[in-house]
Amino acid sequence: MNNPMSVWVSQVMGHPVDVPFPTSTEDLLHDRGRNRFLHLNVDLPESVDLHVGVQVGGATAEIYAPRGATGLPVVLFNHGGAWFKGSAEDERKLGMQIAEKGLVVVNLDYALAPEHPFPAGLDDVVQAAHWIAANVARYGGEPGRLALAGASAGANLAAAAAGVLCSEPGHPQVSALVLLYGIYDLGPIAAFPGPNPVFEAYLGDDWRDKVADPRVSPLQAALKDFPPTYLSCGAQDQALGLTLAMTGALASAGAEVTASVVAGADHVFLNIPGVIPGAAPELDRITAWLLAH
């Protein structure tokens, strides 16, 4: 298992998985249907209503709403998958576990590369925030209490969307931001020579010319405008350095920021609390923080 992804993917899948390094866009498309999280969607919270295929702006979403509740805070959640794979369904159980704590979760199926490269996915997130402001009350949510959240590439999109929504007039207010093991700055990656199929698929062949764009590398955004932010990452995750860098940049900009590093955890650990002992307590901390903000 030469690819470090093999370690955490094996944890999620429950058996050894060798994840090869992609060498082309065709490799990415082939990988899209492999190693999904659908097997985790068992024992779903019974107190949460599941709404599938809801048209949310230019995309669709799954919405999870605690049964019978009204006026709840809302989380716009963006799944992981390196901008080219993954879906709301893959994150269904995690989203419903967040919802059962007393939040309405809009789990977005944003546009995927390479068919829909940057900024299509980001545009979907921004449009979804506007849709929530106008429509989420019918699902028991309070439009004025909106948090953005995301995992891995979805954390990149959530942070990039926060930069857009919080720095430009005419957008819905974002009250909080939760970033899970995300990629916040592509600059260090661009320093390595050679092709990178993932970033080429997402940003195009000239992707290195775009890494300073705050919509691509949100660490470069006007962070002083960001809402209170909670960052979470596993101590074994290769994304930890970027999490710490984003935490430091937010603090230096004067934004309210909380960072949590979970011992013994690798990437996407929150999806597998039965495997990672620290996952369930961390999700409790995240949801308590969301409700407080």
Sign of CA dihedral 84, 87, 90, 96: positive
Is 3 part of a structural domain of the chain?
no
Is 57 part of a structural domain of the chain?
yes
- How many angstroms separate the CA atoms of 159 and 177, rounded? 7
What are 249-276's pLDDT values in tens digits?
999 999 999 999 999 999 999 999 999 9
Is 55 part of a structural domain of the chain?
yes
For residue 103, the enclosing domain spans 25-292
The pLDDT of residue 1 is 44
Closest CA to 161 of 89, 206, 83, 218: 218
- 3-state secondary structure at position 260: strand
Q: Got the DSSP string for 98-138?
A: HHTTT-EEEEEE---TTTS-TTHHHHHHHHHHHHHHHHGGG
Strand partners for 233: 261
Cβ pair 141, 77 in contact under 8 A: no
Is 125 part of a structural domain of the chain?
yes
The pLDDT of residue 72 is 98
Closest CA to 232 of 164, 291, 169, 278: 278
- The CATH number given to whatever domain includes residue 232 is 3.40.50.1820
Is 4 part of a structural domain of the chain?
no
Structure tokens at 183: 């990629």
Length, in residues, of the chain: 293
The pLDDT of residue 2 is 61
Is 227 part of a structural domain of the chain?
yes
| Low pLDDT (below 50) residues in the chain | 1
- How many angstroms separate the CA atoms of 100 and 179, rounded? 19
Number of structural domains, the chain?
1
Is 84 part of a structural domain of the chain?
yes
Burial (CB < 10 A; 0-12, 13-18, 19+), residue 43, is: exposed
Cβ pair 80, 154 in contact under 8 A: yes
Cβ pair 162, 151 in contact under 8 A: no
pTM: 0.97
Is 6 part of a structural domain of the chain?
no
Structure tokens at 15: 């058996």
